[in-house]
Structures are given as structure tokens and as C-alpha cells.
Amino acid sequence: MKTRNIFYFLFALISFSACEKIVEVEFPSDEPKLVVESQITNKREPWKVKLTLSQPYFDQDSADNISSALVNISGTDGINVDLVYTDTGLFVSPDSMQCVIGETYTLTVKYNGQTYTAAEELANGFPIDLMLSFYLPSTNGFVESGYYIFIQGKENEYKGDSYLWKFYKNDTLQETFNILAENDEFGPVSYLNASIDPNDPLKGLAQNILPRPFPFLVEPGDTVRLEQYNLSPTYLQFLFDVQSQLGRSGTPFDPPPANPNNNISNGGLGYFSVAHYTTKEIIVEE
């Protein structure tokens, strides 16, 4: 009886294998769309706009750069500048420019017979009041022991503040999987550490009340520079959408493939951001 069962099993297995058929699925592909990458700030520097074309989801080749476009940025403060093509899809203003708090800036791109626009207002952002280093002992139970950096700063009273931080150690940008960005809903556990005593940051260690440090170990003597960007809430969501797509690992829990939200009109992709910039630098002490 056992031998007969084995025979039937092998016969069924061979039959199913013989019926196997390779099916090639064709994925629909839209026409390439304009993709805009640009951020201008209150820091005086040349304004830059990068233009490329979108690619099919499974196309791993480099994106096609655009060189034949008319690119202009204008502002309610009277600024009106045409950007000049330089290389690899990059358009740059002839001179250094600077945004003004409370003014709105509009990007206009004319490409292939179509006009694309995007606009944002430069919101007010506070400077970083304090930037300090401290040694976190191994008894904290949450973070690896070592030297860390934390900051303290103010927020606007109204809700909707959004922030991005870039952390440089000895002039090298420290990269992480997750972007260092948040909005003012984080409250007392924000990177701005409004509730921490800067003169005694570890005073609440026994109650697990700690400064929220930036997630990078540093050493005494390191030069650390922090750049803080006050963003629009829609740009913060764009960054989170991009991060979500980049973090896809092929599991059932991944978000469905989708283009991030954007502020480019006429079906364009990408984002034109106007952000308030401030920076601070310290040398780590023991």
C-alpha cells in the first residue's frame, strides 16, 4: 500500500511539472514625465533646479537628463531670475540668491511645449539656541553608551512646523536609513528638546528622561556641524513618501509602488521646496 501511494505521488508531481507554463506579463508604461528636484533657502547661494524624465518602475538605467528647457524663479519680493543650463540636467542662477521670510517663490519650467509651475512661501524659522555634547552612560537602557550631540531650540506657536536636519562630523555628512525629519507633533520628545535642562541634561536619567540626541556617536575633538531646515508640511510628507518607497524590501507589508506626493503642476513629478535654513557648529568636549 505504501509503495502504491508513493507511485501515485510521483506520478502527480511529474504531471504538474509537465503542465508548467511560463507566462510573461507586460506592465503598462506611461509616457516619461518631467521630474523636478529643487530647494531654495534664505542662505545666499546660487539657486539650482535639476530636471530629468521619469522611468518605468523596473528600469534600472540612469534617468534621462533634460537640457532644453526654460527655467525661471520669481518671487513676491520682486526677484525674477532665469536659470542657465550647466550639465546633467542642472539649471543654475547666474548669481547667488536669497529667499526672504514671508515671501512666496514660484518655479516655472517650460519644456516640450508644456508649462509646469510650483510655489511655496518661506516660513519663519528660529535659530538653534544651544548645541551641546554629553556622555551617555551604558546604564540608560535605550541608546549605546558614548558621546552624543543634542540641540535646543524654539518653535512657532502655531501647529504645522516641520524640520529636516543634516548632521556633519568632521565635514562628512552622516547618512542614516531614516531621514532626520519630524513635525511639531513630537512635542517634548522632539529633537528640539524644549523640556530638557541644558545645564544638566542627564538630571532625569533615573526616570529615563533624556535629551533626544542625534543618532550618531562622536568623539572628543570632533567638529560637528548641524544644518536645520524649516520645511512646509507637504514637503515633509514628500520626503516620507520617498523614504517609504526606498525602504521597500519585497515583503507583503511594503507599501504599494506609488509616486510620492508633489507640488508640480500639469502632471509633473518631484518637488520645489522653499525652506528656512540655519546652522550651528561645535567641537566635542570631554
| Least confident among 26-35, 70-79, 235-244 | 26-35
Cell of 22: 511560463
CA distance 209 to 189: 10
Cell of 177: 536609513
Buried b (16+ CB within 10 A) or exposed e, 98-121: ebeeeeebbbbbebeeeebbbbbe
**Predicted model pTM:** 0.83
pLDDT at 9 over 60: no
List, in order of start, the domains of the chain with CATH numbers. Answer: 34-122 (2.60.40), 128-230 (no CATH)
- More confident of the two residues 254 and 236: 236
pLDDT in tens, 194-243: 888 878 887 877 777 778 899 999 999 999 999 999 999 999 999 998 88
At which residue does the C-alpha cell 545645564 appear?
199
